Structure 1
Amino acid sequence: MSEDGRPSIGTMRRYAWMNIFTGFLVWGVALAGVSMMMPIMYGTISQDMGWTITQTTSFMAIKSAVSGVGGLFAGGLIVKFGLKRVFVQSVAVIGIATLLLYFVDSLPIYYALASVSGFASILSLIAIQVTLAKWHSASIGRITGVAMLGGAAAGTIVPLATAYGLQHFGWHATAATAGVLVLAFVLLAAIFLFREAPEAYGYTADELDPGPAGGRSRKAGATPATDAGPEFRSILKTRQFILLIVAAALSGAISNGVNEYIPLFVERQANLGAYMAALGFTIVIVISGLGKILFGWVFDRFSTRGVAACWALCGVAVLLSFPVAGFATFLIFMLVRGVSHGGVVVQAPVLARHLYGIRPIAQVIAFLNAAFHLGASLGIWAIGIGVDLTGGFGIPFIAVAVVAAICALIGLGLEPRYWAGYTARRAPSHA
């Protein structure tokens, strides 16, 4: 306990790391882990249940669509009921919905569980992002990247573990086991480790995470650290917020939308075979962990300009698909795609906090995630239609590169007034 009656800085930073660890578990087990299982189980599910591939794979399509729509309501629910209540209950629902896959014997039940899981997943995702943004200021990008490494860790374990489970226990039991893991580990962390906000202990994020001493001072146009930010309703119809949501949606298309087609592109258009297709997807997921850390640092250092650079790199990555013909070009494409994907998935809390501060952060992060998921769904659909109409990935991937350039231009125009390193644009000099 410090002299002013507040917990010590050391205690507060320990609480902050407890949140990071909880986020690691959420991303690694409840979110990425569960999602990674489904594509691996699709073949077995289709065969065992007698469903078509389209019927079987609709699970993730429904889950993603519900997540996108649910994100629009997540901010309001968090504001009304509180972060911890929403977070704990959403994690519990993910675990229960995954566990209940054990009892699936029809498509309606299968799809209903996909819907429930999708809504709970977006709530837990937004809740942990909001929490990290409330506890961290100067290092929000890096911290979010560290927490999201859970997804990369899952990429090294879940595929093989799922394949083993399918072989020895079947898909029902394998899915149920994942639900038990969510309830046994992630839910307990959410209940006992999660800390909602530093303000409850008398601190602010700027006190706990002020950045390097002697950093750049704020200049004209910068917003004081004591300003918590505008009310959400005051920014909802502003030009910058609308452009931000558009860019977030487009970033979903150029990142997650492209990822959906990597195995198909490698196997069929690059003619490298099914094994290389699976290897490529694994490389993207694992290397995205490096991208999260790298771009987390870039976002902390350069804010919206760093995000713009990440969006531009998504365009570069897709252009690198054109020369893919052997292992060397294949590896370069996958590495750049993985790094850029890692940056994109870290962007929401950084953009929300740097652009609008703490006060509206729950609603802003919710809208950013909703836009991202809806954009990813539309991107998957648009790329698929483009491939069907043109007979290949060339024209659709060129379109993706153009969209990435548009995203980058939007990013360069955003003003991060609540970023610790913000410097207003210099007024033009007069003779």
Structure 2
Amino acid sequence: MLVGVNRTAETGSAAVAAAPPPRPSRPRIHRAWLVAAVTFVTIIGGAAFNSLPGLLIDPLHTEFGWSRGEIGLAVSLDMALYGLTAPFAAALMDRFGIRRVVAVALSAVAAGALASVWMTAAWQLMLYWGLLVGLGTGSMALSFSATVINRWFVARRGLVTGVLTAAGASGQLVFLPLCAWIVDAHGWRPASVTVALAALVAVPLVLLLMRDHPADVGLAPYGGTYAAKPAPMAGAAVRTVRVLRDAARTGPFWLLAGSFAICGASTNGLMGTHFVPSAHDQGMATTTAASLLATVGIFDIVGTIFSGWLTDRFDARRLLAVYYALRGVSLLFLPLLLTGPSVHPPMVFFIVFYGLDWVATVPPTLALCREQYGEDSAIVFGWVLASHQVGAAVVAFLGGVARDVFGSYDVVWYASGALCATATLMVLVIRRREGDAAPAAAR
């Protein structure tokens, strides 16, 4: 049964759409792939803002005199709200529909990015970057992808999860070098405007092409059978909290949340925020460091899609253990590689290796949420994603504080490598639910 499709409202409301008459012919390309493509583009538009924080730490510090800790606090607020909004956004999509929620979210990202152009105080940085952008990007977090996948796909879920997860990396690949060049040549304000325009461009695509449910166009989900569209579910906030309460009573939830918090700490919070300023400390040009981080995005796309393919075929626990172990080892070597302004072969090898592993953790983590929590898996994954962003937020803040106190980021790299070893052990002890079959390519 497709997760979330046959669910009815808790009040017992009947489905709002009856089964359509048989269609005379099946379209050659299923509508689900168009919806997935729009989702991909939308995530790229929303992810554009995530390219900025690492590029703006030094310019904001120079122009306003704000400490790196203050700037890191604003970035951490954005990341925390990104995560905490995600589970509520999944429930709101059940209540109001995907199109409405995502269109409003994109508008919030654009508003925050534009408003930051006129900021003059650190509290405004917290408001525009932290609050507005955090709420907007959180509403387009991976729980958005999970909702689309649960409704529109039965077959190829792992593969589609990998592709949509890679959308964030694609946004980084597109916008990070562009924004680095804009910051270097014209200042940080035009870069912020560029991000706002990217979010606004995605709005009409969502309104025109996105559909909330296969039944809206008289189709079955890809690889599944037709099911009527369930009635809108009232009480989105209450349901989100109830799902958290129920999931929090189970061990797998805490193991998934804890390991994913370490994932966020070692990616968005660490590399995404502090790699560029750390490389700049060693004399590397900002545009060069940004290009290296964008290269991570290239291999992230490959690694994440391949991880989705592997998740359809192998035990998600073992995949996660391998990913975290390899990431931890690579981070332990990074301080030895950041030793000067030039880019040498070992650094290139690190960038390729780390890129393949960056968000390869998402498809198996989402698969474990589906396995453990069934029809509530999108909301549970939203809460697991919240832990990811809380972990990222903590390191984004503490990384800036460590740089202010110790004069370098070395201690942060080493600590993150050790945390990855802990995540490896956590995922290995998650037990498979009784009666669950081994992964199959058709899942």
User: Normalising to structure 2: TM-score of the pair?
Assistant: 0.75
CA offset digits 1:186-216 (Å, max 9, x no partner): 111211221223355452455179xxxxxxx
Q: Which amino acid aligns with 2:144?
A: A
Kindly indicate whether residue 323 of structure 2 is the aligned counterpart of residue 310 of structure 1. Answer: yes
Instruction: Specify the alignment match of 2:230 in structure 1.
Output: none
Instruction: Specify the alignment match of 2:9 in structure 1.
Output: none
C-alpha distance in structure 1 between counterparts of 2:249 and 2:335, whole Å: 40
Q: Which amino acid aligns with 1:356?
A: Y
C-alpha distance in structure 1 between counterparts of 2:349 and 2:439, whole Å: 34
Instruction: Specify the alignment match of 1:410 in structure 2.
Output: 426
Structure 1 gap ranges (5+): 210-230, 424-431
Does the Cα contact within 8 Å between 1:303 and 1:416 map onto a contact in 2?
A: no
Does the Cα contact within 8 Å between 2:261 and 2:390 map onto a contact in 1?
A: yes
**Which of 346, 353, 356 does residue 329 from structure 1 map onto?**
346
CA offset digits 1:60-103 (Å, max 9, x no partner): 22211222333353344334433333222212222233233344
C-alpha distance in structure 1 between counterparts of 2:363 and 2:174, whole Å: 22
Does the Cα contact within 8 Å between 2:35 and 2:211 map onto a contact in 1?
A: yes
Instruction: Specify the alignment match of 1:89 in structure 2.
Output: 104
Instruction: Specify the alignment match of 2:307 in structure 1.
Output: 295
Instruction: Specify the alignment match of 2:52 in structure 1.
Output: 37
Does the Cα contact within 8 Å between 1:262 and 1:280 map onto a contact in 2?
A: no
Shift of 1:370: 0.4
Residues 272, 56 of structure 1: CA spacing in aligned structure 2 closer, same or farther, 3 A cutoff? closer
Instruction: Specify the alignment match of 1:147 in structure 2.
Output: 164
- Higher relative contact order, chain-length normalized (CA < 8 Å, sep 6+): 2
Instruction: Specify the alignment match of 2:32 in structure 1.
Output: 16
Does the Cα contact within 8 Å between 2:43 and 2:140 map onto a contact in 1?
A: no
C-alpha distance in structure 1 between counterparts of 2:402 and 2:68, whole Å: 21
C-alpha distance in structure 2 between counterparts of 1:51 and 1:382, whole Å: 16
Residues 371, 406 of structure 1: CA spacing in aligned structure 2 closer, same or farther, 3 A cutoff? same
C-alpha distance in structure 2 between counterparts of 1:191 and 1:178, whole Å: 20
Instruction: Specify the alignment match of 1:218 in structure 2.
Output: none
Instruction: Specify the alignment match of 1:319 in structure 2.
Output: 332
CA offset digits 1:351-398 (Å, max 9, x no partner): 3323323x2033112101101000122244556677788887666545
Instruction: Specify the alignment match of 1:228 in structure 2.
Output: none
Aligned residues: 395
Q: Which amino acid aligns with 1:339?
A: L
Residues 418, 236 of structure 1: CA spacing in aligned structure 2 closer, same or farther, 3 A cutoff? farther
Residues 80, 409 of structure 1: CA spacing in aligned structure 2 closer, same or farther, 3 A cutoff? same
C-alpha distance in structure 1 between counterparts of 2:185 and 2:435, whole Å: 53
C-alpha distance in structure 1 between counterparts of 2:46 and 2:95, whole Å: 24
Task: Kindly report the root-mean-square deviation, in angstroms, between the aligned alpha carbons of the 2 structures.
Answer: 3.6
Kindly indicate whether residue 259 of structure 2 is the aligned counterpart of residue 244 of structure 1. Answer: no
Residues 7, 382 of structure 1: CA spacing in aligned structure 2 closer, same or farther, 3 A cutoff? farther
Q: Which amino acid aligns with 1:319?
A: L
Between the two proteins, what is the percent identity of the paired residues? 21
Superposition pairs for residues 110-259 of structure 1, below 5 Å?
110-114=125-129, 115-125=131-141, 126-166=143-183, 170-183=187-200, 185-198=201-214, 200=216, 201=218, 203-204=220-221, 206-207=223-224, 232=243, 234-259=246-271
Structure 2 gap ranges (5+): 1-18, 227-241
Instruction: Specify the alignment match of 2:297 in structure 1.
Output: 285
User: Normalising to structure 1: TM-score of the pair?
Assistant: 0.77
Does the Cα contact within 8 Å between 2:369 and 2:381 map onto a contact in 1?
A: yes
C-alpha distance in structure 2 between counterparts of 1:158 and 1:302, whole Å: 34
